[in-house]
Every structure is written in C-alpha cells, then in structure tokens.
Amino acid sequence: MAGVCAPVHWRCLKLQVLSSGSEGNSTLVRAGELSILVDAGLSRVAMEERLESARLAPGAIAHVLVTHGHLDHARSAGMIARRERATLHCAEAMMTHASARRAKRLSTIRIGVEFELKPDEGDDRLRATPVPIPHDCDPTVAYRLEHQGRVAVILTDMGRVDDVVARRLNDAHVLVLEFNHDPALMETSPYPAVLRKRILGNHGHLSNAQGAAMLERMASPNLHTLVLAHLSQKTNTRELALAAAHGALERLGLTSRVRVIVAEQHEALETLEV
Ligand SMILES: [Zn+2]
Ligand SMILES: [Zn+2]
C-alpha cells in the first residue's frame, strides 16, 4: 500500500550514507515513500552515480537539506535539487550561495526549529530539526530526523564537545557522528599550520576523543547503530576511530548492543534500518 508504513514492527525509516569525508558528504534518508538527501557534497556526476547505486530513479528525491555552506556538503545541492524537482532547504545565509541558486524550489530553515517534510504525493511525513553546532561556517547545523517514533541523527563538522547540542540530539536509534582526526597524526601531517589550527580549533572538526565524548553524552537506550563519519584520510585511521568509539561504548556498557560501522568516502554504505 503506497505511503503507508504499517505493519507494526516493520521499520520504515531507513538511512544510507552515500559518501562521507572531506571530498564530499551525502546521506540518503527514506521514510516510507518519502526520500530526502542530507547534503550533496560530491560533484553532480558522482552524486548521480551514488543515487543510481542506491536504486533511486531520477525524480525520487523530494527534499535536499544542506547542513552548511562548505563545498564538501553543498557542492551540487542546487543542481541535484533541480534535477530531482526537489525543494532545497538551507539557512537564510546560504540562499545566495552559488550551489543553492541552481535550485528552483528553495525553503529557508529556521535554526533550531523543527519542520515537516512530505512527498509530492503520499502521506509519509518526516520531522526534521536543524540544531546549531559550532563550526567555521555560520550557521552549521546537525539534523535530527524523526518518523513514527524512530530517530536518526546526523552530526558532523563540529569544533568541540557541547553539552547543549548533545542534550538536543540524545535519542537517536541510528547516529551518524564525526570522528574526524587523531591529534597526534594531525601534528605530523603535511597540512600547513594554519589548516591544522583550524581543524583542531573550537570551530573545526571533532577528533576521535571528542567524537567519543559526544557519543557518551548522546547515547541512549534507543541507540542500536553508530556510523563513524567524516574520517580524515590523512590524519586518521579506521582503527583509531573504532578504538575511540568502542572505548566510549564500553564505558557506557553498550558494547554488545550497538553496532559500529565506518562510513566511506568512495562508496555508499549499506542501507540501515533506523
Ligand atoms: Zn565537512
Ligand atoms: Zn564544514
């Protein structure tokens, strides 16, 4: 039955990380008949390839949400929204951004205020809350997405551990969380000092230890799947990120209950049922 998510116990909120990392970020979220993208940071061609690999016909995306104006999140957002005849949702400050201007349908988000997303046809609804986070692009938001009591949270590009943010995003069933870098690898990296300072600063990116500290603040009994996201290819390793995440889960007593996956830059992850 189109647009209806019953029977009971059948989870119909689904999330698939299409790409994650400094070369481009995008996550596909499906709620019954409704499909949306959070960020479209790859090139248009690469985005189309990922959408095809997710078996989405052109025009299937109804909404594109952009977390902030950095190109690794916004690069082809307007072009993809236009191709999909989707509405592009972004902050007022991003409306004049070159990537956003290509969209035909634009909607301004109010930071911190929940809004509802629906398909062009059908009854499915997804509630989206853009939560402001500290990053060197103002504003930057994390997204809490809820459908029929199931909650997915996408939180990347954040400069420091923040209790207020954690409290607003502490009921995820599936959590996509930044584990960007290892500070020791950063110190010995080929990055110029200015860039190292930016990434390590309060408006940069979460280190493995900071990601773990956010996880400890955000994990609830709901949490069943954790996706480690936005890993740096130069200043992090999967092993270091996984060790930090597992350490936090151990301290929480959640090791056996939470599955941990590392998001990839160059291929889409499997579809996760939220
Ligand atoms: Zn980013
Ligand atoms: Zn950013």
Q: How far is CA 251 from CA 23, 127, 157, 164, 219, in A?
A: 33, 32, 25, 21, 11
Considering every ligand atom shown, identify the ligand nearest to the alpha carbon of residue 204 and give its number: 2
Bond into 58 cis (ω within 30): no
CA 66 / ligand 2 centre spacing (Å): 11
CA 230 / ligand 1 centre spacing (Å): 7
Q: Report the pLDDT value the prediction gives residue 9, as an integer from 0 to 100.
A: 42
CA 57 – CA 9 distance, rounded (Å): 27
Task: Tell me the whole-structure pTM to 2 decimals.
Answer: 0.95
Q: Report the pLDDT value the prediction gives residue 241, as an integer from 0 to 100.
A: 98
Residue ranges in the chain whose pLDDT is less than 50: 1-3, 8-9
Considering every ligand atom shown, identify the ligand nearest to the alpha carbon of residue 73 and give its number: 1
CA 255 / ligand 2 centre spacing (Å): 30
The answer to whether 158 touches 136, Cβ cutoff 8 Å, is no
Q: Report the pLDDT value the prediction gives residue 186, as an integer from 0 to 100.
A: 93
Considering every ligand atom shown, identify the ligand nearest to the alpha carbon of residue 137 and give its number: 2
Q: Report the pLDDT value the prediction gives residue 4, as an integer from 0 to 100.
A: 52
Between CA 69 and CA 36, with CA 14 as vertex, the angle to 5 degrees is 40
Domain 13-116+125-268: CATH architecture, name and number where available:
4-Layer Sandwich (3.60)
CA 74 / ligand 2 centre spacing (Å): 10
CA 12 / ligand 2 centre spacing (Å): 30
Q: Where are the domains of the chain?
A: 13-116+125-268
Sign of CA pseudo-dihedral 198, 201, 206, 207: positive
